[in-house]
Amino acid sequence: MAQGYFVTGTDTHVGKTWASASLMRAGVRQGFRVVGMKPVASGCEWHEGSLQNSDALCLLQQGNVALDYASVNPFAYEPAIAPNFAGIHNPASLEVIKTQYEQLASQAELVIVEGAGGWYSPLSMAFDNALLAEALAIPVILVVGIRLGCINHARLSLAAIQQSKANCCGWIAVRVEPDLPYTQENIAYLRKQLSVPLLGILPYLREPDFDKLASAFSINNHCKINEIKP
């Protein structure tokens, strides 16, 4: 059975997709069969007769198992609004997502599942990221965008994940601003305050270079992500 990880964030636009794609690239470089999944996405555009999402396409491109788009993103919505509203006439299904995840896991050794928004962001009127992660029963990785307010957001998000009784296996720091003062100090402070390991620090880049970003992570022979050294 594949090792899966559920990637959530302290908010939207904190680097979840880059972190997910970088983890996938690291796994591919390690020699694993790797797939990504973006179960629910809004803000999609029409391409060759179907709605497709740029984040989901990024994950599809970083994998090394041949898949069609719908396998990676079973619920794609055009309006760039919260999925619970965007999909009001075609709501996401927890059972469909779980079945699709199991199919992907049967073809791979490492599966990276990217949520939408933060931990409690709704994916339909019936469930949110927290309930989806619970249903998939895989470890959670928290992505923290390093910017003003990130300490509060990170501590609250981790507390929420742990209150949900999910297994948060670690966090990833993403530099989302090029010249934020006290960046290293913020990361060092969070490292002391968060009770889970720091798995990687992604530098600020204007455009993604996933080979470079993948070097932030160390994945062992059992698809476990190692804590980075202080």
Strand partners, 35: 111
Q: Is 59 domain-assigned?
A: no
The parent domain of residue 19 ranges over 3-37+97-214
54-62 vs 16-30: helix crossing angle, rounded to 10: 10
pTM over the 0.75 mark:
yes
Per-residue pLDDT reduced to its tens digit, 38-63: 999 999 999 989 999 999 999 999 99
Give me the catalytic one of 16, 38, 224, 229. 38
Q: Tokens at residue 138, please?
A: 């895989």
Give dist(CA 65, CA 198) in Å, integer.
Answer: 28
* Single-letter code of the amino acid located at 204: Y
Q: What is the pLDDT averaged over residues 99-126? A: 97
Q: Is 181 domain-assigned?
A: yes
Catalytic-residue membership of 165 = no
Per-residue pLDDT reduced to its tens digit, 62-110: 999 999 999 999 999 999 999 999 999 999 999 999 999 999 999 999 9
Task: Give the CATH number for residue 192.
Answer: 3.40.50.300
Count of domains observed in the chain: 1
Q: Tokens at residue 128, please?
A: 């949110």
Phi, psi of 139 (to 5 degrees): -60, 150
Q: Helix (H, G, I), strand (E, B), or coil: what is residue 28?
A: helix
Q: Tokens at residue 106, please?
A: 């049967």
Q: Is 124 domain-assigned?
A: yes
Q: Tokens at residue 37, please?
A: 């999944």
